[in-house]
Structure 1
Amino acid sequence: MNNLSEQSANLTFELPDNTPVVRLGLIATLYFKEGYSLQSKRNVMQCFTRFKEEFGQHLKGQFDDRYKKLTDSGFSKTQEKIRESGPNEQYEWHISSAATANEAAAYSLSALNSFEVHGDQKRSYLKMTLPWSFLKEPDGVARFEEWLVYLCDQVEAEHGYGGLSSILPYDFDRYMPMEFQLAQQYVGLEVDSMVHNFKRELLDHIKGVNWYTIVGTRFTEQLGGKDGLRHALSGRGDVEMLDYQGGLIIRAGALPELGAIHEPLPVTYVAVNRVLKQLRNPKPDQLHTYSPYGNCFEQDSTERWYARFDQDDAHSKTPARIEAGQPCSAAGYWFSPAQANSRRYFDLGEIMPRFSGSNWGDTLWYWSGEA
């Protein structure tokens, strides 16, 4: 938390009139099916109602066809219009602490639906933004986690992610170069300004790993089901797994990490990524479209960003896995999925132990990322 406090000023930018155009925020982005159905719309509207009830004192603006002031009557009218819309009518709704479309919001909730005519070829999304300082409150992490589980249950999330991100205004185009530059400096920042672009791209893959990674049942089954996924990560005491109605939520560490480029990669993110990597989109489209305002993500830089937590044995100094009974190849912390909370320090040459009677099978030890 001290690191976040120290670095937060470097991750916020204001115009000369003090309008914030880039903020460090805490996000949760979820992708889900059948956003065109009446039940889905009702569930999403419940999310908006609850968000307004809890954070209404901060909310000033909304986007519904155009950006305008948020009022109680306008909020109710928009909800009713969305509930009455047809299965092939698009709704895009944002409620926000930003008074105008040119200001980066500290608090926001947004949603965009898919059409029935698209069938299973597009996804809908729901995204929540909170200030990063929310984590400094005594119950901040617990409240954020409770919100995340609630949102996942409401929309039956297929996949998603939660963590730190650069928050741009609703009219974000001219500030994408800032998002690009910050993402080069901090690997823990989720690049999420164009969340709407992934509606078609992320049908059969997840976007990747962050502090929280949401993996729906269809994806957990590719990794041996929930039990298999729990086993694969059970050796690490710094990974928490939560159930929701549609799958599993994985938390990598007690707090999110910025991952400054001059520091070692966040070891827990790397560990979770090692297990979930096969679910990630192998051929992602660019994270940004062309911008006349400066350098943004192109195809090569996009692919590097997606692979930022990869630490394959063939391309890094990560020690290879070790079978039980063999000597330790590198002094440091290792863990085995054969037993929960097995992570511990081994000296060079120390014989790696075996866990008998494990349902996992053979005892294999994996490098935990720390020397």
Structure 2
Amino acid sequence: MNPLQILSDQAPNLTFELPDSTPVIRLGLIATVYFKEGYLLESKKKIIECFDRFNKEFGQHLKGQFNDQYKKLTNDSFKKMTLDILRTGSNDQYEWHLSSASTASEAAKYSLSVLNSFEIHGNHKRSYLKITLPWTFLLEADGAIRYQNWLVYLCNQVKAEHGYGGLSSVLPYDFDSYTPMEFQLAQQFPGLEVDTMVHNFKRELLDHIKGVNWYTILGNQFVERLGGENSLNHAFSSRSDVEILNYVSGLIIRAGDYPQLGAQDEEPPAAYVAVNEIVKTLRIPEPEQLQSHSPYGPTFGEDDTAQWFKRFDKQ
């Protein structure tokens, strides 16, 4: 069956709404990149260029922005946020989320998020940049290539050290009540990236990557640890379902023409397993829990987290 048809059949089971029809879990198409020196003025300007492009392309869907609190998105509030970021010092926190959600309690279809590192942390912490699009983007004639163009653009803008892109459960900005649902879905579908607490890994991901998804982003230092670009090209030369792309600071590996969710009772996607087999030596060796404890139900503990990171390992 066509991968997009399979995804279309599975997608309704990955969306949840409250009784008042507020969506609190969506199936999204995400890309998360980690980068150095988010405190530099040059980095801030590059980030603002990303947000400006996102606002211009998807502005008709965007309703709010979050930093310390939810605010309605207007031309004036957008401009004010850009100026506020440019004025921050090298050890000031800036956090910005552009979102299609009406409130902090609604899962967004479209969003762009950033959180910076501080100069005082030196090379011991990373900044991150994350884009979220609806999975139905892939059903559009040029949707897959537009998503890829965005991923490559973000990597180039911040000279990404590493990252990943693919399918993920999208939760509200106020996500704490719904992490047990994210846990349950991730247990059923190995292709889902668990990415709600993306901010938790900024320190762990200094010398390691999080792992493999549809797209796996490797900065030059990680490419060299795998033997270089030629070695990677050779490793995947026999696979027609794996493609290697270049960006300004490294390589991006795509596992298949379209992302796959997989299923708990099936073999994991073969292309994901093939990429994982080559890059798993770069993975966090002893990852911290993917989620915090929740009073609303079970979440990822130490054992579940360890198993999730190994989900594409050959048994």
How does the TM-score come out when normalised to structure 2?
A: 0.98
CA distance in 2, matches of 1:76, 1:185: 42
Q: 2:114 aligns with which of 111, 121, 125?
A: 111
Aligned-pair CA distance for 1:235: 1.4
Q: 1:232 aligns with which of 227, 232, 235?
A: 235
Aligned-pair CA distance for 1:220: 0.4
Q: Deviations over 1:179-222 (max 9, x none)?
A: 00000100000000000001111111000000000000010000
* 1:50 aligned partner: 53
DSSP 3-state at the match of 1:174:
helix
Structure 1 unaligned blocks of 5 or more? 317-371
Q: 1:207 aligns with which of 187, 205, 210?
A: 210
Q: 1:298 aligns with which of 287, 298, 301?
A: 301
CA distance in 2, matches of 1:230, 1:143: 24
Structure 2 unaligned blocks of 5 or more? none
Question: What code does the residue aligned with 1:68 have?
Answer: K
Aligned-pair CA distance for 1:45: 0.4
Aligned-pair CA distance for 1:232: 1.2
CA distance in 2, matches of 1:30, 1:304: 23
Q: Over alpha carbons, which structure has the higher Rg?
A: 1
Aligned-pair CA distance for 1:60: 0.3
* 1:170 aligned partner: 173
CA distance in 2, matches of 1:37, 1:45: 13
Aligned-pair CA distance for 1:229: 1.3
CA distance in 1, matches of 2:178, 2:100: 19
Q: Is 1:274 aligned to 2:277, yes or no?
A: yes
Q: Deviations over 1:47-100 (max 9, x none)?
A: 000000000000001102111111110000000110111100010000000010
Question: What code does the residue aligned with 2:270 have?
Answer: V
Q: 2:158 aligns with which of 155, 158, 173?
A: 155
Aligned-pair CA distance for 1:246: 0.6
Question: What code does the residue aligned with 1:251 have?
Answer: R
Total equivalences in the alignment: 312
Q: 2:129 aligns with which of 109, 126, 131?
A: 126
Q: Deviations over 1:225-264 (max 9, x none)?
A: 1111111112111101100001000000000000111222
CA distance in 1, matches of 2:160, 2:220: 10
Q: Is 1:70 aligned to 2:73, yes or no?
A: yes
Question: What code does the residue aligned with 2:93 have?
Answer: Q
Q: Deviations over 1:124-164 (max 9, x none)?
A: 00000000000000001110011111000000000000000
Identity of matched residues, %: 66
CA-based RMSD: 0.6
* 1:84 aligned partner: 87
* 1:287 aligned partner: 290
* 1:253 aligned partner: 256
CA distance in 2, matches of 1:252, 1:45: 30
How does the TM-score come out when normalised to structure 1?
A: 0.84
DSSP 3-state at the match of 2:203:
helix
DSSP 3-state at the match of 2:212:
coil
Question: What code does the residue aligned with 2:134 have?
Answer: P
* 2:201 aligned partner: 198
DSSP 3-state at the match of 2:202:
helix
Q: 1:8 aligns with which of 7, 11, 24?
A: 11
CA distance in 2, matches of 1:172, 1:38: 31
* 2:222 aligned partner: 219
CA distance in 1, matches of 2:237, 2:194: 29
Q: 1:102 aligns with which of 105, 117, 125?
A: 105
* 2:32 aligned partner: 29
Bigger RCO of structures 1 and 2 (CA < 8 A, at least 6 apart): 2
CA distance in 2, matches of 1:215, 1:130: 22
CA distance in 2, matches of 1:122, 1:133: 34
